[in-house]
Amino acid sequence: MRLRNLADVFASAEAEGIQLRIGGAETQVRRPRANRPGRRAFVSGKKKLNTIKSTTITDGQGRLLWSGADRPGRMHDQTAMRTEGIAEQFRLRPRDRAEVDEGYRGPADEFPDQVSAPPKKRTTLTRNPFLISLPPRPTASIETASIRTRSAYRDDHQPSALAATRLQVQ
């Protein structure tokens, strides 16, 4: 069977009960000529190279069913998906199911019963314990702070006996 357009792909998947896999691919291209309008559009934000991006749809066995138009590398996967009409096909066919890659998290949130995306990565705060905010330190009086500052410049780096007794009194 020949699938000529995107609507045919979704109609076939709905009729046969196939779960689609949607992904984006970036291909490096030569740098466009100087003074060409839209030259910066090909610079990918992810790869920092001149690329073109295409959206592909495969079946569960990895056979290519549809490949979208090539878009400039600067365009986000999610924007390309909406431009090509994939999101509209999910609205028209609520029984279709798809697995998507990380770039399509928006449609996965918009169509949670139809589109499944990989789990989100852990945030930076959970990976780096130094970025987590610490509870505020208790403040000391100005007199005690000046004694600590002076004692920090001593050769032995030990607080003086006077400063230690003042800290214990408070």
Q: State how far the Cα of 9 lies from the Cα of 93, in Å rounded to an integer.
A: 11
Q: pLDDT tens for residues 92-135?
A: 999 999 999 888 888 888 898 998 888 877 665 555 555 555 55
Confidence of residue 22 (pLDDT cuts 50, 70, 90): very high
Q: Give the mean model confidence (pLDDT) for residues 59-72.
A: 88
Task: Give one DSSP letter per residue of 1-15, joined into a string.
Answer: ----SHHHHHHHHHH
Q: State how far the Cα of 66 lies from the Cα of 55, in Å rounded to an integer.
A: 8
Which of 74-83, 84-93, 127-136, 140-149 is least confident? 140-149
- Higher per-residue pLDDT: 80 or 157: 80
The answer to whether 60 and 18 are in contact (CB under 8 A) is: yes
Which residue intervals of the chain are DSSP H helices? Answer: 6-16, 77-84, 86-92, 105-110, 124-127, 142-152, 161-169
In this prediction, what percent of the chain has a pLDDT beyond 70?
Answer: 69
Which of 75-79, 85-89, 161-165 is least confident? 161-165
Q: State how far the Cα of 40 lies from the Cα of 33, in Å rounded to an integer.
A: 11
Residue 11 has pLDDT above 70, yes or no: yes
Which residue intervals of 23-120 are DSSP H helices? Answer: 77-84, 86-92, 105-110
Q: State how far the Cα of 143 lies from the Cα of 162, in Å rounded to an integer.
A: 12
Q: Give the mean model confidence (pLDDT) for residues 80-98.
A: 90
**Domain boundaries, given as residue ranges, for the chain:** 6-125, 135-170
Q: Give the mean model confidence (pLDDT) for residues 14-39.
A: 84
Which 8-state DSSP code applies to residue 36? -
Residue 146 has pLDDT above 60, yes or no: no
pTM exceeding the 0.75 threshold for the entire prediction = no
Residue 154 has pLDDT above 80, yes or no: no
* Residue-level pLDDT at 97: 92
